Amino acid sequence: MELPINKNKPLIMHVDLNSCFATVEQQANSHLRGKPLVIAAYTTPNGCVVAPSIEAKTFGIKTGMTVREARLLCSHVIVRDPDPALIRDVHIKFRNIFQDYSPHVTPKSIDEAIIDFSDMTHVLRRSLSEIGTEIKYRLRHEIGEWISCSIGIGPNRFLAKLAAGLQKPDGLVTIDHRNLLGVLEKQSLTDLPGINTRFEARLNAGGITNAIEFYHAPMDVLKKQVFQSILGYYWYQRLRGWEVDAIDFERKSYGQDYALQKHTNDPHELSKIIMKLCEKMGRRLRNAGYEAKGIHVSCIYRDGTYWHKGKTMQQTMFTTLDLFRKALWVLNHQPDKTKLVSKISVSCFNLDKNPGAQFSLFDNEDKERLVQDATDKINAKYGEFVITPALMMGMNNVILDRISFGNVRDLENLYDEPSG
C-alpha cells in the first residue's frame, strides 16, 4: 500500500545563516562588506576555502577550492583566517533568539539550526511564516545588519532543509502537501539534502534520474534494489513529509585532529601535538561528565598512506595525562616511524559516566583527578590553556582554534561550560 503525503501542518523550521563565516567577518569589519571574500583554513595558496562570501560566489568560488583556485577566478578576492570566537558568539546569539519561540531548538552545525514547533500549537498565535519573518528581522537588528538567513518550513526536517535552500541567500519558503510535488519536479537528485554523487549513482542504476522519479519509485524498489537496506524505506517516508530524522544518538566518542602545516616525524614534536589534542579532547570529555576506556590514534602521511590503531584499556582514562600517556603508547606502535605525518587524530571511546566518587588524599590517581578538576575550573574561568602541561609551552600558535562544520557535538561546550 502506497504511503500518502503527510498532510499535517508544517511545524518544522530550518534556519541557515548565509555564507556564515564570511558574512560574520563582513559584519565585524565593515570595509569588507560587498567585496569578494573567502575564509580559508590557511591563507597559503594550498589552503582550503571553507566559506566564500555571497560576492565571491558570483565569481564561481566554492567551498573546497584552494586559495590558489579562488584567486584564478577572482584575482582581487580577499582571503582571511577563520575567527572562531566571533562565529561562536554569533551562534550563541542566534540560538538564544530561536529559543524565544520554542524550547525545541536543535543546532545542526555552527550556522544551521532546527526549530520544532510541534508541541507549540496550543500557544502559536501566528503562522510560522510570520515568525520566520520576525526571526530574520531580529537577526539583522540584534546581531548585525549584514547578517541574513534562509528559512525553510516543512512537515519534517528533510523538507524544511530543502525549503531553506530554494531561495538563497535570503529566502523564506514553505513546503507542504499542496506544493511538494511541484517543488520536487524542479529538483535534481543532488539538490536533495543527503543525496551525494554516490547515492545519485545508485539511484541512476535503478532508473531514477531526478527528484520526482525518486518520489514515485515504489518502496520495495528503493529498499531492495536501490539502497538494499532500510535506508530505502526511510527515503520513501522522508520524501512524503514523514519524520524519520528526529533521533538523538548517544555520544560514543570524543576526538580532536590536526593538519600539520609542517609535516614531521619528530617524536618530540608529535608528542607535543598529541598532548594539546588530549587536553582539548579531555576538557570536552570531563565537561560532559564522562571518562573513557578506549583510545584511538590515526595518522595520514605525506605520501598519502594511512595508519590507525585503537586500544581498550582495563582502567578508565579521565585526566589529560591519562589520555596522553595511552595515546602516546598507541602512537609508538606505528609500523614505520620514518614517514612524515601530515595529519594526526586522537579520539577516546568506550565512554562511561564519571560517578563522581569521593577521592582519597592518599591515592596518587585520585590526587591527579583533583588537580585536573582544579585546572579545568581555572581554564574555564580565565581562558583556554591558562594552565598547561610543560610539554605544551611555546605551542600557542600550534593547533589553531577551529570550528568543525558538520560535527554539531563540538558545540556542546558552548552551552555547558561554567561561566565565571
- Checking if the pLDDT of 70 tops 90, the result is yes
Q: Do 234 and 262 fall within a single domain?
A: no
Which tens digits make up the pLDDT trace of 88-128? 889 889 989 998 999 889 988 888 999 999 888 777 788 99
Q: Do 292 and 230 fall within a single domain?
A: no
Is residue 30 in some structural domain? yes
Q: Do 152 and 5 fall within a single domain?
A: yes
- Checking if the pLDDT of 247 tops 80, the result is no
Is residue 164 in some structural domain? yes
Q: Point out the domain boundary residue: 200, 229, 248.
A: 248
Q: Do 374 and 264 fall within a single domain?
A: yes
Q: Point out the domain boundary residue: 178, 201, 221.
A: 178
- Checking if the pLDDT of 369 tops 80, the result is no
Q: Do 299 and 233 fall within a single domain?
A: no
pLDDT score recorded for residue 419: 36
CATH number at residue 268: 3.30.1490.100
Tally of domains within the chain: 3
In DSSP terms, 172 is beta-bridged to: 151
- Checking if the pLDDT of 288 tops 90, the result is no
- Checking if the pLDDT of 255 tops 50, the result is yes
Q: Do 272 and 217 fall within a single domain?
A: no
Q: Do 280 and 367 fall within a single domain?
A: yes
Q: Do 260 and 221 fall within a single domain?
A: no
Q: In what order do the strands lie in the sheet with 149-154?
A: 105-109, 112-116, 12-17, 149-154, 172-174
pLDDT score recorded for residue 358: 43
The pTM is what?
0.69
In DSSP terms, 49 is beta-bridged to: 40
Q: What is the mean pLDDT of residues 234-259?
A: 86
pLDDT score recorded for residue 37: 97
Q: Do 230 and 296 fall within a single domain?
A: no
What residue numbers bound the domain in which 408 lies? 253-416
Share of the chain above pLDDT 90, in %: 61
Q: Do 99 and 112 fall within a single domain?
A: yes
- Checking if the pLDDT of 408 tops 60, the result is no
Q: Which residue has the higher pLDDT, 137 or 371?
A: 137
Q: How far apart are CA 398 and CA 394, in angstroms?
A: 8
Averaged confidence pLDDT in the chain: 86
The three grid cell numbers given for residue 114, joined into one nine-digit string:
532546527
Q: Do 171 and 73 fall within a single domain?
A: yes
pLDDT band, residue 19 (cuts 50/70/90): confident
- Checking if the pLDDT of 177 tops 90, the result is yes
pLDDT score recorded for residue 324: 93
- Checking if the pLDDT of 420 tops 50, the result is no
Q: What is the mean pLDDT of residues 48-56?
A: 93
- Checking if the pLDDT of 349 tops 80, the result is yes
pLDDT score recorded for residue 10: 97
- Checking if the pLDDT of 42 tops 90, the result is no
> Which residues, in sequence order, are CB contacts of 62 under 8 Å at separation 6+?
49, 52
Is residue 183 in some structural domain? no
pLDDT score recorded for residue 87: 87
Q: What is the mean pLDDT of residues 334-357?
A: 87
- Checking if the pLDDT of 393 tops 90, the result is no
Contacts 24+ apart (CB under 8 A), 211-214: 211/184, 211/185, 211/186, 211/187, 212/181, 212/184, 212/185, 212/187, 214/184, 214/189, 214/239
CATH number at residue 113: 3.30.70.270
pLDDT score recorded for residue 416: 44
Q: Do 197 and 123 fall within a single domain?
A: no
Q: Point out the domain boundary residue: 203, 223, 248.
A: 248
- Checking if the pLDDT of 189 tops 70, the result is yes
Q: What is the mean pLDDT of residues 179-186?
A: 97
